[in-house]
Amino acid sequence: MRYVKRAILALALSLMPLNGCTKGVSDGLCLTVTDYSLADQRAVADELAALGAQSKTGTFMADYGRLRDEARALCAIH
């Protein structure tokens, strides 16, 4: 259970500062990253917590968060 709480906290923290690197059409290298409201981020964190430690959804969400981080990092270069 402790792992789940840490994973959810990490996911919530990684989702909170999500500011898209572009607004609108991608320039080919810079992907558009969707912004989510704080309320939506909290709702998702609550839903993930309810799924429990055996849920694969948390793993998928963590991977999605890493992809978003990579997209923002790529955009920061350009």
* Residue 46 φ/ψ, nearest 5 degrees: -65, -45
Structural domain range at position 26: 2-77
How much is the pLDDT for 10?
A: 66
Render the burial of 35-57: b for 16+ CB within 10 Å, e for the rest.
eeeeeebeebbeebbeeeeebee
What is the domain count for the chain? 1
Q: Report the predicted TM-score, pTM, of the whole model to 2 decimal places.
A: 0.52
Q: Print pLDDT tens along the chain (78 aa).
A: 667 667 676 666 566 555 455 454 455 667 778 889 999 999 998 998 898 878 898 889 889 989 989 888 888 765
Q: Strand, helix or coil at 12?
A: helix
